[in-house]
Amino acid sequence: MKTTTTTGIEVTLTAKLGYLDRPTVHASFAHPKAGQVEVDLQGYGKIQGKDAAYGDFRGQTVALMIPQADYDAVQAGADSIIETAIGAIRSGATRIELRWSEGSPLSGYVTVTKFASQLLRDLKIARDISGWGCLVDEKAAKALGESFTYAEAVAYTQPARELEDAAVAMAAAHRAEKIAEAAAKGSPVELRAWTEPCTSRTEECGLDVCVETIDAQGRTAVRRSHTW
């Protein structure tokens, strides 16, 4: 898009993905003194009391007094770059490509296709490793191969989703049953029990027995017992 600053400089604005794939408005213009300027804009606001888009150019802040509507329109276009890319992966137009990344201390499969990692994360076959990036489950990568469609990933993860749904449904049914039991009995009943490492600093015990009870109103409480 072409726009003009209040001082009469013609600026070309383009939508792009900038640093860390952030949707960014890029400005390109010829400055009477500085020559050709290419700058990734960082935002729009008041710069020395004037409405302007601003960015960093050779260590200095550049303020461009262009209409905010123009800046916003191009920013919206930049935002849609990611949506479009994700839409293309979802529809199968863009395949998901993986590659093995050899690293220290971690090696693993990563996505080559931009923005595929967030879709795989949602399908629970990829996870973020802090300071490293997004790692794709090795088992899933081996099963799906290094190039596959989103639909294939959805089909691959379907059984796990069904198991999870079944577990959630079972837990809900168990809870409803216990609430009914508590209502019939007129007092709380045991919902579940488990053991975990002792939380007390003073007791000489290794394992605590925890019992969660539930009453007729669905209110739960955990009772912890030390073991000797």
For Zn ion, the closer CB: 90 or 226:
226
Residue closer to Zn ion by CB (options 22, 224) is: 224
Q: Going residue by residue from 143 to 182, which x/- string records binding to Zn ion, judged by CB under 5 A?
A: ----------------------------------------
Q: Does 203 bind Zn ion (CB under 5 A)?
A: yes
| Minimum CB–partner distance for residue 197 and Zn ion (Å) | 8
Buried b / exposed e across 53-67, counting CB within 10 Å, b at 16+? bbbeeeeeebbbebe
Give Cβ neighbours of residue 19 (< 8 Å, ≥ 6 apart). 40
205 touches Zn ion (CB under 5 A): yes
- Count of residues for the chain? 228
Indicate whether 209 belongs to the interface with Zn ion (CB under 5 A).
no
Tokens for 135? Answer: 């790692």
Q: Does residue 210 belong to the site contacting Zn ion (CB under 5 A)?
A: no
> What's the min distance (Å) between Cβ of 224 and Zn ion?
7
Our finding on whether 208 is near Zn ion (CB under 5 A) is yes
CB of 201 to Zn ion, least distance (A): 10
Please report whether residue 198 would count as binding Zn ion according to CB under 5 A: yes
DSSP-derived letter for residue 146 is: S
- The distance of closest approach from Cβ of residue 166 to Zn ion in the complex, given in angstroms and rounded to an integer, is 34
**Do 78 and 25 meet the contact criterion of CB atoms below 8 Å apart?**
yes
Please, what is the minimum distance in Å from the beta carbon of residue 200 to Zn ion?
5
Q: Which of 184, 194, 187, 195 is nearest to 214 (CA)?
A: 187
The angle formed by the CA atoms of residues 76, 79 and 84, to the nearest 5 degrees, is 115
